[in-house]
Amino acid sequence: MVATNISILTLPPLPREFYQRDPRLVSPNLLGKLLVRKQRKRVLAARIVEVEAYLGADDPAAHSASGRTLRNAVLFGPPGHSYVYFIYGNHFCFNVSCLPDGEAGGVLFRALEPLTGIKEMAEARGVSLNEGKADSALRKLTSGPGRLAEAFGITRDRDNAKDLTDARSDLTIVDDGFPSQPIEITPRVGITKALDHPLRYIVAGNKFVSHR
DNA sequence: GAGGAGATCGTCT
DNA sequence: GACGATCTCCTCT
């Protein structure tokens, strides 16, 4: 059921065409896929269980709503690239750009289910897995946008504008053939505008989904 | 278990 | 100069 490190490395990244669509179509299709980080010694991999769609000029909650700036340029660029930004003075958030070159849109990764490289993720997060409550310690690794970025070592300097469809990239998204699960759609989290838009997509009942 | 406040800084006005 | 697609810690119940 869980793919080994070696087989994960043989899986091709999702192609650019996958991302060259409306974020509302990309989002549910990303659920169940794997985020893969190739490190020197180890491979980090986790299943995507929660994402949010952010649209272009029509979406007041999106960074791209007020037009193209230096920061959000990736959202306006070709699809399949990582958009990483720094928020609240503490955290990085990880997105992937969608829609054809010139149109703004993206998907925010909100929660993952850790599969391999769990020890490395725990170290990166400063979380001890040897506590009695192994279940809740595991949840602390990647259940939240800032958390998963820290677990995967994702930073703006290192990863912004990276091509996730390039097999040579150290950060990719792959399909390991995991069967699709029931999906729930809810309003987005942590925003103050466009609260009525149901654009948050989660794997129903998955315990790694961030709460609120 | 729930709720509130502080931390902390890049980006845009 | 204000604010934000968050997290953690602390307090109260």
- How does A24-55 read in b/e, with b if 16+ C-beta sit within 10 Å? bebbbbbbbbbbbbbeeeebbbbbbbbbbbbb
A166 in a domain, yes or no? yes
Torsion of CA A95, A191, A212, A184, to 10 degrees: -60
CB A115 within 8 A of CB A47: yes
Q: Please name the residue whose C-alpha is nearest to the C1' of nucleotide C3.
A: A88
Instruction: Compare A127 and A97 and report the one with higher pLDDT.
Output: A97
A113 in a domain, yes or no? yes
Q: Please name the residue whose C-alpha is nearest to the C1' of nucleotide B3.
A: A212
The pTM assigned to this predicted structure is: 0.95
A61 in a domain, yes or no? yes
The residues pairing with A202 across neighbouring beta strands, listed in sequence order, are: A50, A184
pLDDT tens, residue by residue, A161-198: 999 999 999 999 999 999 999 999 999 999 989 888 99
A180 in a domain, yes or no? yes
Number of structural domains in chain A: 1
pLDDT tens, residue by residue, A40-64: 888 999 999 999 999 988 899 999 9
Query: What local confidence, expressed as pLDDT, does residue A195 receive?
Result: 87
Nucleotide with the nearest C1' to A66 CA: B12
Query: What local confidence, expressed as pLDDT, does residue A136 receive?
Result: 81
Residue A6 predicted with pLDDT over 80: no
pLDDT tens, residue by residue, A65-112: 989 999 999 999 999 999 999 999 999 999 999 999 999 999 999 999
Phi, psi angle pair for A48, to nearest 5°: -80, 120
Query: What local confidence, expressed as pLDDT, does residue A83 receive?
Result: 97
Q: Which of residues 137-176 of A touch strand B (CB under 7 A)?
A: 156
A210 in a domain, yes or no? no
C1' (C6) to CA (A146) span, angstroms: 6
A208 in a domain, yes or no? no
Query: What local confidence, expressed as pLDDT, does residue A2 receive?
Result: 62
> A91: domain CATH number?
3.10.300.10
A211 in a domain, yes or no? no
C1' (B4) to CA (A155) span, angstroms: 29
Nucleotide with the nearest C1' to A149 CA: C6
Query: What's the whole-number mean pLDDT along residues A22-38?
Result: 97
The residues pairing with A193 across neighbouring beta strands, listed in sequence order, are: none
A69 touches strand B (CB under 7 A): yes
C1' (B5) to CA (A39) span, angstroms: 37
| Domain enclosing residue A45, as ranges | 5-203
A130 in a domain, yes or no? yes
